[in-house]
Structure 1
Amino acid sequence: MAKPFKLAAALEGHKGDARGVTFPAAGTVVSVSRDSTLRTWTAGAGDWLSDVDYESPKYVNSVAWIGGEEGLVAAGGQDASIAVLATALPGRPLKYTLSGHDSNVCALHAAHGQLISGSWDKTARVWQDGVLKHTLAGHTQAIWAVLILGPDVYVTGAADKTIRIWNGSTVVRTLSAHEDVVRGLCAIPGGFASCSNDASIRTWTAAGEPQLTLYGHTNFIYAVAALPSGELLSASEDRSVRVWSGAECVQTITHPCVSVWAVAACADSGDIVSGASDGVVRVFSRDAGRWAAPAVLAAFDERVASFGIAAAELGGINKEKLAGKEALAVPGTKLGEVKMVRAAGTVDAYQWSGSEWDKIGEVVDSVGSQRKQIYEGQEYDFVFDVDIQEGAPPLKLPYRVNENPYDAARRFLERNELPLEYLDQTAQFIEQNTAGVQIGATAPAEDPYGSRYIPGQAAAAPPPTRPAPKLMPQRSFLFFQQIKLPAVAANIAKTNAAVGADALAADDLAALEATLGAATPDGLRSHWPALSAPLLHIAASWPVDKRLAALDVLRIAVAGADATGLAATVTTLFAADSFDPAAPNTAMMALRVLANAFGADAGGSVLADPDIVDQVAAVVRRATPAGPTKLLQVALATLVLNYAVHAVAAADTDTAFALVDPALGLLPALTDAEAKFRGLVALGTLCAAGAEVAEGVRSLGGAQAAATAAEATSDPRVSAAATELRQLLA
């Protein structure tokens, strides 16, 4: 029997979940994380050294080693692009970026001189030498797993529970054996292996004939990989990496974390690497010469043993009927078997290693490892049921714990065409039923499938009070993301027929309709080259009250603009007086365009031009006395907030100073709770741009403005923001 794997090194440096790993050569590991970075780890004389080689504006979720003389490595993530770096060149520069996906790139694999990518946009794409070779379309939900099996043979696995085998861009077989989302694929001798949220691993011939089905994991399985020995590795939400020889699990490596997201093997050394929700990248080896020092191994075992396990993970537990530690005298019946025993005031969980019972944690009553939920092919921390009408099916409200509850609530209401009057209640429902949840931390006792909410009714009683989070400074931009493309496209076509000489030419209108018909909301930014000319023509030429639909598309597409296109957009909006408060809907949408423009690569550099900042300040002052509508209020406050976020990130005190006075003038005009909250956070964030800026806010009466804002509403978020701002200015 092969020696067991033991910890060789724990690589600490990531500040978020390590979502992807690759092990291209002995002594070299590459990892990507929810902290938006790619790190290369190199084994030194006594430790592993790490460098941040790439930093994305959003989460990085997938990685693949391409290799070659330049040591190319690819990383994909939530910005829908794929960055390819040359790790063998000095400075490990960015070689090129692959664009084409419309949403999160969650899977990558490289082999046979090609790279394949899978995305939430329901497509996989095959690239060769930086050029798109194939687009694989046909899955009905997000593609979570990809594999290059031969020079022109590909395998994809998706949230639609199917696996597809492709010859070029043609599907040759669809496999439907898995009962839940397919999460991982890897090549094995003579075929491939797959894993799923159904907690099973399946092996297949290259033609798709089923072979083995492996059970042992107790939760979602996120990744599979093959060892040079022919053994199989799997990584799971049950905190473990498992090693399989044929149909038998020969080792279970329990981790002191919530989720093991990724696993990979080194073809040179036979060592393995895992990436986990605690941000730690761990290397394991069968070679005793590479094992960590005994004290490090003991500390690792202690961390595993002290980790809290949710009772929900192990089924219903009657503590009174559990045996004591004397039960551990009886050997286990299979490797990985879990046994619970009564201890002094606790219930301890032990796992059979094949020779002894190893403690893997203490069972706790609250949910310790929340299973991720899949909705419409995408991953969320919660998916709530929302009852709208008696007898009708509930609507689904998806939510990720890292997002603003008000953004999730607004997205839900807009998608289902529900009144925005329910915004506060829906957001409060989310907050109360996810209280205290942090990524990778203990989740609430509330069952995400058992919670039901009826808009207009009081939300459930809140759980115990938790410490208020720090609201200021805001570190990330807020964007307006929702759009109904078919309705918008129809509106543009209808209006085009009524604007006379300023109408788009028939060919231009047809091209615009074709682009909008083929695009998804998340992918509009990638269609900027085709959309910019007709949209800017409409923004510049059509009557101000006829531009709404075009600006609606522009606000999403603008995130794909380069510096030249972005400058042209801003110039057009101001020249055409799109911010006239007498046309509040148009003004609101034009403000949303500017707010979303911060999502473009050149957003900060273009929008922080002093002339543009002065014009924005004038727009804010102009809108204030008119008693802006609620939607216009939110747009104004969000634009100021995004400018504040930029000013802090770029240490741009000039921009911060220019916006202090208009931001203070805006605050008294805000009657909408969400707008008021964003306005207060904007002021607090501006204060973080420099001590002199904070002094400016203080001297102009910022503390009194905050107090007045809080007095005019009962909204707890506004009160919390006002209190924090006053404390900053004290």
Structure 2
Amino acid sequence: MSTDTSRDTNSRCVNSPGYHLACTLSGHSADVRAVAAFSKDLLVTGSRDGYVRLWQSGDLLESPIPVHCPYYVQTLAVLDSAKLLTGSSDKTVTWLDVHTQKVLCIGKGHDDVVSALSAEPASGLVASGSWDRTVRLWKHGQSLQTLEGHQASVWALLFLSETKLLSASADRTIRLWDIRTGQCEQSLQGHSDAVRALALIHTSARPDECFASAGNDGSILAWSASGQLLHRWLDVHSSFIYSLAVHEHHLISAGEDRTLRILDLREGCVVETIPHPNTVWSVAPIPGTDGDLLTGCADSCARVWTRCPERMASAEQVAEYEALLANQQNKWDQKEQIDPSQVPDAAVGLAEPGSRDGQTRLVRRQGSSDAIEVYMWSMANARWLKIGDVTDPPAESSRSNKTGYDFVFDVDVDGDAQRYRQLGYRRGENPYLAAERFLEEENLPRAFLEQIVQFLIDHVPANDLGMEKEAPSDPLTGSDRYVPLPDLTSLESNQRGRLPEFVRFESTDSYERILEHLPAAGRTRLLFSSLEPVTTEKLQVLAELLDTLPTAQVVAVIDLARLAVLDASAVHVFFANEPQTALDAVMRHAASLDASFGVQVSACRFLCNSFVHWQSAPVRRALLQRSGFILDTFTAQVNGHTPAKLWRVFTALLYNYAVLEQRCDVEKQSIQLCSESVLQSACLLGLARPAGVDDATELVSALCLLIHNPSRAKLAIAAGILEWEQIPSKIAERIRAFA
């Protein structure tokens, strides 16, 4: 049997551009779904972890920007030299100033994931496409019109001019729109599957303006601006093509087959194949360079590729990258079983050079009778590169329908109809439990939790849901109920000397559910079969788990610690090991890029409950000395799309800090500095109140406690956080009383 697995259709041996690895951009905790380049000195990446990151010369410029957390970043586009556009699974488009890292405006209107963006810098127009099958036109954050006609998700957009726009869809068509009239002028059909990428071609090889399209059929098509099909390159990739870019006479494509391919428009063929460790989601040319490329990969990394020797990575970095490639597992997709005896030994099979770039070859691992490896010929390196090991495909029966559920949904996590995943739900079940189970079964990141919960709320009949449809509750983080707050919004009540109580989170929806999600098995679960009595052994086990477990597994442990910290004995275990207390461990998880919504809520509740020991010096010292880090961590998570539950529990934390200032007569200097930061955080929370949250008693009460003298009143204004007209009326009256 032949062991050469490459496709010959569009590849032949020509002078290779010779791309090499320049650097790897590591920092995201999930797939890098989108990349963009402002210049060689400013690169941008967007990820499923919800963050946008800015890079210069391979180094992270600033802290990650949580533009869409906890939702994921799906697409990016450059509007001008300072403005970046981002689209997300939270259904919004944002305009971000990359120099100040501030969100300038947010576009709301889509009913599903924003999956495509394109900008027209001359006019400032922005187009967004969505899984809701529509295209929207925007300017300065304002929606101008909606273009309807596609029958499936819109995956790519491209402005041809100020008045002409292209849209590509999973319905296999490309539509040409006149945005002056909002009418579709043409519907172009040429692909046999979903169309996922568009790119403008204007090169010396093709002097007349035209564009390229690509998609799930693995082919690339070239079209004239008037809609005439000019050329078809079949099977450029062996699977889906997700992104296209153009540099000079090269058309660059990124695909599911884990490769980046360089197609020479003059030669009409693929001249170079660059293997990656996983799916290549996106590619962008880097302005101001000699063709450098930026790619985003499903292995959580982005990479820069160059043809300039002075910018190439070191030999050590290249060796690390090639080791990543070699450790891939490749599923052989042919029906016939591979006979290892017919596959040549590596020493024989790799003795001769390949005949074309990207050619792949199967060989038997040296010294083995059945282990089969995959190698790819690299023209740029003039040698065979190992790109993985062949493994058997999963059994056909593994995709059978799920049983034992009242509802089974085909969930389109990636917006790709060929990748449906089955989500099972039982009547009366808490959607959070169903979502947690689904993520574990499908090995999906926790960033999808809220998205899956919302899907269930939207698709399960209200009578069959295990919760109030308007108020989903995370079973791992307990009830939202706590001791009601006194009315502190009037000056008189405060002057009468009533000392307010701290907010505490003492109850839980189900202790059994917390135990179900406790990652430690056996003796640990037996130890915590009941939390009472709270013993030193239990506290020490919790402290150890907080210190050693990864963030993705720690939510139930923090929730147990949240209950245990209310006991007086917790002071001697949780706060005795300075400088690394249990509070520090909890905050390390809360600040992690892997922190889920549940981790953040549970961490806030742990902190709130810690205030009951405010008279203990170690507890008070920990809360005050770490206050800057605590406030910065949670303030960074808060924006107009923050889940209401996290917003409320953070306001409770700020309220407790305000109460501490009222109660404590010692460490006045530390408390004063802390409370000024709390005041600023409280003002920021007022601006970022989520839609639908009408009752902000804790926040109003916290501000009324904090703004008790003219200097504090002036701080709220002088800090530039609030304008008079933005201040809630009750707070404004109180500030004016001291103005």
1:63 aligns with 2:70: no
Match of 1:365 among 373, 391, 397: 391
> How do 1:506-521 residues align onto structure 2 when only pairs under 5 Å count?
none
User: Which SS does the other structure have where 1:659 is aligned?
Assistant: coil
Match of 1:194 among 182, 196, 213: 213
Structure with greater helix share of residues: 1
1:178 aligns with 2:191: yes
Deviations along 1:139-196, one digit per CA (max 9) or x if unpaired, are: 1111111111111111111111111111112111112211111111111111211111
> How do 1:76-475 residues align onto structure 2 when only pairs under 5 Å count?
76-88=87-99, 91-112=100-121, 113-168=124-179, 169-189=182-202, 190-214=209-233, 215-227=235-247, 229-246=248-265, 247-256=268-277, 258-269=278-289, 270-312=291-333, 316-325=337-346, 326-344=348-366, 345=368, 346-354=371-379, 356-367=382-393, 385=401, 397-398=410-411, 420=427, 438-439=443-444
Deviations along 1:641-698, one digit per CA (max 9) or x if unpaired, are: xxxxxxxxxxxx96653424x7569999xxxxxxxxxx9999765324375148899x
Deviations along 1:257-291, one digit per CA (max 9) or x if unpaired, are: x2111111023212100000111110011111111
Return the offset for 1:252: 0.7
Question: d(CA) in 2 for partners of 1:36 and 1:52?
Answer: 9
Question: d(CA) in 2 for partners of 1:275 and 1:423?
Answer: 36
Residue number in structure 2 paired with 1:32: 46
Question: d(CA) in 2 for partners of 1:687 and 1:99?
Answer: 38
> CA RMSD of the aligned region, Å?
4.6
Match of 1:593 among 442, 467, 470: 470
Return the offset for 1:75: 1.0
After TM superposition, the score normalised by the length of structure 1 is 0.57
Distance 1:237 1:691, change over 3 A: same
Distance 1:609 1:223, change over 3 A: farther
Return the offset for 1:353: 2.4
Deviations along 1:585-644, one digit per CA (max 9) or x if unpaired, are: 69976x33122799xxxxx9x978864999xxxxxxxxxxxxxxxxxxxxxxxxxxxxxx
- 8 A Cα contact 1:383 1:397, kept in partner: no
Question: d(CA) in 2 for partners of 1:216 and 1:587?
Answer: 47
Question: d(CA) in 1 for partners of 2:213 and 2:486?
Answer: 53
Distance 1:663 1:54, change over 3 A: closer
Residue number in structure 1 paired with 2:559: 686
Runs (5+) with no aligned partner, structure 2: 1-14, 203-208, 415-420, 488-500, 516-529, 532-553, 571-739
Opposite residue 17 of structure 1, the aligned amino acid is D
Distance 1:475 1:329, change over 3 A: closer
- 8 A Cα contact 1:336 1:351, kept in partner: yes
How many residue pairs match? The answer is 477
Distance 1:230 1:272, change over 3 A: same
Opposite residue 350 of structure 1, the aligned amino acid is Y
Deviations along 1:527-586, one digit per CA (max 9) or x if unpaired, are: xxxxxxxxxxxxxxxxxxxxxx9xx6xxxxxxxxxxxxxxxxxxxxxxxxxxxxxxxx69
Question: d(CA) in 1 for partners of 2:505 and 2:408?
Answer: 45
- 8 A Cα contact 1:686 1:694, kept in partner: no
Question: d(CA) in 2 for partners of 1:696 and 1:612?
Answer: 26
Residue number in structure 1 paired with 2:551: none
Distance 1:385 1:696, change over 3 A: farther
Residue number in structure 1 paired with 2:494: none
User: Which SS does the other structure have where 2:356 is aligned?
Assistant: coil
- 8 A Cα contact 1:216 1:336, kept in partner: no
- 8 A Cα contact 1:385 1:397, kept in partner: no
Question: d(CA) in 2 for partners of 1:439 and 1:694?
Answer: 36
Distance 1:663 1:301, change over 3 A: closer
- 8 A Cα contact 1:657 1:693, kept in partner: no
Distance 1:655 1:130, change over 3 A: same
Match of 1:53 among 37, 57, 65: 65
- 8 A Cα contact 2:427 2:464, kept in partner: no
Distance 1:8 1:695, change over 3 A: farther
Runs (5+) with no aligned partner, structure 1: 372-381, 389-393, 402-407, 414-418, 441-470, 485-520, 523-548, 553-584, 599-603, 615-652, 669-678, 698-730
Q: Percent identity?
A: 27
- Asked which structure has the greater CA Rg, the reply is 2
Distance 1:333 1:666, change over 3 A: closer
Opposite residue 253 of structure 1, the aligned amino acid is I
Return the offset for 1:309: 2.1
Question: d(CA) in 1 for partners of 2:224 and 2:61?
Answer: 40
Distance 1:212 1:287, change over 3 A: same
Question: d(CA) in 2 for partners of 1:20 and 1:100?
Answer: 22
Return the offset for 1:203: 1.4
Distance 1:52 1:363, change over 3 A: same
1:19 aligns with 2:38: no
Deviations along 1:190-209, one digit per CA (max 9) or x if unpaired, are: 12111111111111111121
Question: d(CA) in 1 for partners of 2:148 and 2:399?
Answer: 27
Return the offset for 1:131: 2.1
Question: d(CA) in 1 for partners of 2:412 and 2:150?
Answer: 24
Question: d(CA) in 1 for partners of 2:408 and 2:513?
Answer: 36
Question: d(CA) in 2 for partners of 1:667 and 1:323?
Answer: 54
Distance 1:654 1:365, change over 3 A: farther
Opposite residue 264 of structure 1, the aligned amino acid is A
User: Which SS does the other structure have where 2:156 is aligned?
Assistant: strand
Residue number in structure 2 paired with 1:377: none
Question: d(CA) in 2 for partners of 1:354 and 1:2?
Answer: 6
Question: d(CA) in 2 for partners of 1:137 and 1:274?
Answer: 31
